[in-house]
Amino acid sequence: MTSEREALLAELLNEVYEKENGFIPTPAYHPFHRICSWGAVEVLMISVDGKRVLLKYRDDLPFSGWHVVGGYVRPKETIQMFADRTAKEERADITGMINFRCIAICKWLDHPFSFPLCALMVCNPLGDIIERDDLKWFHVDNLPLGRMIHKKHILYLEHYRDYFLKNQEHWCPVIGE
């Protein structure tokens, strides 16, 4: 027999799912992530020649440092929709992203908020990206690995630089387990 609290939880979860953006309200965000692994995508926006990576600097705890752009994929959202939303949220002057390739899958067990299953994607942004203090291109031979707060982001960049650039015909190994 379903209790009133269980029925209320089911009703609230269905309500979130039915919303157009599928966003979990802030008070429920952390409790939800403690019990559910949620799909995340890290997007390595790379230059056409593949030698530069666009990174974002965040100064909010626990994320203080350089990062690969990414986040959680919302319910009903495609990877293209996620990438377009992420570009807008980063305030990058990007008209879109193309040439998506999944180059790795990683389960991030020590993530500060949850234990997401991350897809590491590479793509090429369309449009002119104007660098600023918190959004910069870095050459693959000069990545700010010592100024990145999360080991997984270092792992993602090292995988791109040391493996993917040399073996582009091999996609989606499981890394970081």
Same domain, 66 and 92: yes
Same domain, 137 and 158: yes
- Contact assessment for residue 22 and residue 16, using Cβ atoms and an 8 Å cutoff: yes
176 or 60: which leads in pLDDT: 60
Using one digit for the tens of pLDDT, what is the confidence trace for 79-122? 778 877 877 777 667 777 778 788 888 877 777 666 677 888 88
Same domain, 24 and 86: no
Residue 172 lies in a domain: no
Residue 79 lies in a domain: yes
Using one digit for the tens of pLDDT, what is the confidence trace for 110-155? 776 666 778 888 888 887 788 889 889 999 999 998 887 778 888 8
Same domain, 44 and 1: no
* Residue 85 CB-half CA count within 13 A: 15
Same domain, 87 and 153: yes
Same domain, 14 and 81: no
In three state form, how does the secondary structure of 41-52 look? EEEEEECCCCCE
Same domain, 104 and 138: yes
For residue 110, give the CATH number of its domain.
Answer: 3.90.79.10
Taking residues 51-74, report their average pLDDT: 85
Give the range of the structural domain holding residue 136, as residue numbers without chain letter.
Answer: 37-166
Same domain, 4 and 57: no
Which two three-digit tokens encode residue 32? 């939800």
Using one digit for the tens of pLDDT, what is the confidence trace for 11-20? 988 888 787 6
Same domain, 24 and 59: no
Domain total in the chain: 2
What does the pLDDT read at residue 141?
94
Using one digit for the tens of pLDDT, what is the confidence trace for 16-33? 878 766 677 778 877 777
Q: Is the peptide bond before 62 cis (omega within 30 degrees of 0)?
A: yes
Which two three-digit tokens encode residue 75? 């319910």
b vs e for 66-102, b when ≥16 Cβ sit within 10 Å of the residue's Cβ? bbbbbebbbeebebeebbbebbeebebebeebeeeee
Residue 113 lies in a domain: yes
Same domain, 75 and 142: yes
Residue 69 lies in a domain: yes
